[in-house]
Amino acid sequence: MSTRYEMVFTCFLKDDTPESVLDTLRWHMGLRADRPGSVGIDECPHPLLTPNADSSTHLAGGEFARLTHQSRSSRDVWGLFVRVFWPDDILEEAVSILELLAPHVDEPGYGGYFRAEAEAWPSVYMFREGTYDVTGPMSDFRTR
């Protein structure tokens, strides 16, 4: 049996995040049926952030994906929260999501984590200056 990973993406995106980025997120989350023109089938053959509605998920509370326009302090932002399971054969595709988000993150800092289903310690995403770092047990996941 292959390893599954709990994937969590959580951040605020700037209010002026391009509509093409928001549409790409909506497609990945299953909130938009048609593939955006900016997402090639070769680069991403399937949505990555669509929650599994199956009640047999092993995540307490189930899988979840939400993108909401909201107020934060004195400004508007896009709030993103996603928690899904991925099989290990697509783990490296997290890079495409992190690269999509990083230039539009409202404030630097924590952006989520991933961890193998049976592991206690996660690897953490940190956003800063339009890019991201991954720290923790699998910080080298991009080279696997």
Rounded mean pLDDT for each run of 10 residues along the chain, 144 residues in total: 87 96 93 83 82 73 91 93 88 88 96 90 94 85 56
- In one-letter notation, the amino acid at residue 134 is V
Rounded Cα–Cα distance for residues 36 and 28 (Å): 10
- Short-list 141, 127, 32, CA closest to 86: 141
pLDDT of residue 90: 80
In the sheet that holds 131-135, the strands lie side by side as 64-72, 75-87, 4-14, 109-116, 123-128, 131-135
pLDDT attached to residue 1: 59
Look at residue 39 in the predicted model and tell me its pLDDT. Answer: 79
Find the farthest-apart pair of alpha carbons in the chain and give their distance in angstroms, rounded: 48
Q: Give the Cα separation of 119 and 105 in Å (integer).
A: 28
Q: What integer pLDDT is reported at residue 144 of this predicted model? A: 45
